[in-house]
Amino acid sequence: MEFRLLGAFELVAGGRSLDLGPAKQRVLFASLAVDAGHPVPTETLIDRIWDDAPPREPRKVLHTYVARSRRVLEQARHLDHGQTALERRADGYQLTMDLDRIDLHRFRRLVEQARAPRRHRPERAALLGEAVGLWRASPLDGMAGEWAARVREGLRQQRLGALTDWAEAELALGRHAPVIERLEELIVHYPLAESLAARLIQALSLAGRDAEALEVYSRACRRIDDELGAQPGPELRALHTAILRGEAVTLAADAPVLAVRRPVHHEMSSRPQPAQLPAQVPAFAGRTGYLKRLDAMLGSDDQGRIQVSVIAGVAGVGKTALALHWAHRVRHRFGDGQLYVNLRGFDPSGSHLGTAEALAGFLDALGVPPDRVPPDPDGQAGLYRSLLAERRMLVVLDNARDAEQVRPLLPGTPGCLVVVTSRSQLSGLVAAEGAHPLRLDPLPAAEARELLVHRVGPARAAAEPDAVAEIIARCAGLPLALAIVAARAATHPEFPLSAPAGELRDARNRLDALAGQDPATDPRAVFSWSYQALSPAAARLFRLLGVLPGPDIALPAAASLAGVAVPEARPLLAELAGAHLVAEHQPGRYALHDLLRAYAAELVHALDTEDDRRQASRRSLDHYLHTAHAATLLLAPRRRPIALPPPAPGVSAEAIDGAEQALAWFTAEHPALLAAVQEAAAQGHDEEVRHLAWALSAFLRWRGLLLDWVTAEQAALDASRRLADPRGQAHAHRHLGRAFTLLARFDRAHGHAAQALDLAVGLADRPGQAHAHHELTWALSRQGRYADALHHAEQALDLFRAAGHRPGHAKALNGVGYCHALLGRHDRALVYCRRARTLFQELGDLNGQAASLDGLGYAHHHLGQYDHALRCHRQALDLYLTLGDRIGEVEALIRLGNAHHVGGDHDTARDTWRQALVLLDELAHPDAGHVRAQLADPALHRTTPSDPAGTRLYWPHR
């Protein structure tokens, strides 16, 4: 088990990084890890987590985070068997563990040992090398908040000191190569650290690379002058002088200090100062984060390379608008002028601007007479770079097609800054020239509203807020689309905004509603310029994405959609992402915004046959169905597989390894799976509808996605009715009964369970009748009708036993035991629940074992055997956590809190209930209000053990 703070914050156990929870909980973890071994007061933790904006009851929320953090540590201990504890100390908390398991504390120990008196040089270098090798990136990388920023800055200084000491130790041993390798990489993170620059200069000179050492000195001078308006310190100046004189670079105490005269750039008033920037786009809105990232380039020379930023994004997303808005903001920083050219990389005519033509325009702007322009492109590029070598200019290269079109237009020396816009990612420039990639996404809702209000006026927008919201949503955050709607609204001020909103509402006609006579502002035409540049295979995949049912698609699903192997699909998706016709919004997952999806749908219906579309939909459905079937058997291995027809040719079902990967797959794909259920129903694939619902049921139930579960099972019920299949109808009714019980909709739960029972009786299906009785048992127990519940539980037990149905037999045993517990017959409950647990263990059913442990825990609880109760509920909770069963987790937490409370541990009880409440709120569960009221009950603060008033027993949901 290991905490890592010297980079992105994480807890690693058993060889994998654990989920530390939401952002605020991660700050709590980090705060305790930084001060591990020492108590951190509660008020200090609140300040660190929330800065100056704590919630209304910060201590209660903090207790919830602490309780959930303990669960994470418990999970880590199971994986790694490490010794760690999160303990209460007075008015605070303390993380106790081996400090060498926290990289920050190990770093500090190693540095302290290295700096001990009389430490031999080799040992000192080794200790320091190990210490600085622990750093992966900026400490607490990505963690927000004032406290994290303060810690980050303090640790950066500690790292700088250790790096300097290590470099000195290595150089004293004559080892300059590792110093050069490490410091060349790290000096960019410490641009004003003269000690690092000095050690790098020493190392380069010792390696016989004096020219490079002098270049390091020059870069350091420029940075110090730009940032501080000062000259370098005595150490750097002395090293510079020593190298110029050919002297040794070791620094003696009496090394001379020489002033370095900065080179003076003579004003060349006779040179032209181009000002080629076009006018800014009117009513520019938002993009604050992107502007800050562009501003950051102004203060860095990036190790002497020219500064290049590539703004890439889908057509119409506002790349040129951003580039020009920023360029006008900073043009005063470039006293030698600004150059601009539209490279026409995606011009509808297909004639992009040639290199010679672009260079000729720049040379003319720089004052070169036509007779002095070299005839060949290489000569023109050389002259262009020479003219820019002593100038500070801003160069905007708009609408570039590829990296080869841009390269000849890049300056050759630092001082100039280049901004490139393109629909392609231009990854070649990023890799070879070190360009800074800036992917421009569609506007978020708030910035889209700001743009629209700028265009149509605040009064008009305020008068129709619903229409404004719908326009923003239908335009998918695309500035071009918003500008078109705003222009039409301005042309017809007498029309309400609800008119264009209504035109955009119909997805099939949305592009028509945005069409115009000018191709430059018609989204359909603008998209076509990117589409026409695609390879035939990539263009076909883009069109087929128009039949995609879900909100996004993973690589294997895209391969199945296209009917190609995964290795063939990967470069096609990369091509589409490079052209910004799809967005890789998560690693390996791709999405189209709504307008591009509408464009793809138009193309696939116009250019592909109905048979092609039907086969693509079939492949997509088979991909999800076969993968989901395999995944659900990994999640619930005791389920009986269903017989599926073989997948269509070209389907690449995903290979899923183990329950954890299956759970992750369902989590990522469940919106697409639900969409596939609806698409299958719309196309009349009723068998596939039922199969998909079957495959989804365990995941949706365990994760608490109850409304989604109802949707899927209702679709399965409708499909079974169309197929005139009473057995399938009974199965769907049972699942709907269970879902509505969890939703506390008992009238509907009873109705579905009763219909399931009637259908099973008509079929003479004993296991089916038993399952229906079990669902009625569960619903009745949740209503407090315990005697009626026991009656149905005993009928379920008799029927399962007579049918030889061992999994059902185990489930019914546990149901009978629970009903006895609810009726106060706790000794009898123990007998039934123990028998159930034994049978579940024989079957290898982890869900059933967790449910029987809950029953045992409840019975022990009410027999006053609190230690036994706590042990049973903790074991049940661990099983639910292992399975990813959030409904089971929340119910086990409530019962565990009950047992803590009646055992007298009121603080732990409250912490445990708060954990349950957080989960209930996340699940939008109807019982959240009950638990919240229970926490507010003054009876919780009694010191004598008692059962809290109104405490509700949760029926095990197996």
Q: What is the pLDDT of residues 87-135, one digit of tens each?
A: 888 788 999 888 888 999 999 999 888 888 877 888 888 998 899 889 8
- Between vectors from CA 636 to CA 631 and to CA 638, what angle results, nearest 5°? 125
Q: What is the DSSP letter of 551?
A: S
Q: Which structure tokens are listed for 839?
A: 């049978």
* Homologous superfamily assigned to 288-439: P-loop containing nucleotide triphosphate hydrolases (3.40.50.300)
Query: Domain 834-941 belongs to what architecture?
Result: Alpha Horseshoe (1.25)
The CATH class given to the 2-99 domain equals mainly alpha
- Give the whole-angstrom CA distance, residue 946 versus residue 66: 25
Domain-wise residue ranges, the chain: 2-99, 176-259, 288-439, 445-523, 834-941
Q: Tell me if 624 sits within 8 A of 692, measured CB to CB.
A: yes
Q: Do domains 176-259 and 834-941 have the same CATH topology?
A: yes
- Give the whole-angstrom CA distance, residue 93 versus residue 38: 8
CB-count exposure of residue 241 (10 Å: 0-12, 13-18, 19+): middle
Question: Which pLDDT belongs to residue 303?
Answer: 52
- Give the whole-angstrom CA distance, residue 894 versus residue 879: 15
SS3 content of the chain, % helix, strand, coil (to 5): 65, 5, 30
Can you list the residues of the chain whose pLDDT is less than 50? 251-269, 941-958
Question: Which pLDDT belongs to residue 259?
Answer: 27
Q: Is 684 in a helix, a strand, or coil?
A: coil
- pLDDT tens track for 340-361: 998 888 765 556 788 888 898 8
Q: Tell me if 359 sits within 8 A of 384, measured CB to CB.
A: yes
The dihedral formed by the CA atoms of 490, 493, 497 and 503, expressed in degrees to the nearest 10: -70
* Homologous superfamily assigned to 176-259: Tetratricopeptide repeat domain (1.25.40.10)
According to DSSP, the residues that pair with 591 across neighbouring strands are 583
Question: Which pLDDT belongs to residue 943?
Answer: 34
Question: Which pLDDT belongs to residue 652?
Answer: 85
Question: Which pLDDT belongs to residue 659?
Answer: 83
pTM value is 0.57
The dihedral formed by the CA atoms of 527, 528, 533 and 534, expressed in degrees to the nearest 10: 80
Q: Which structure tokens are listed for 877?
A: 């909770």
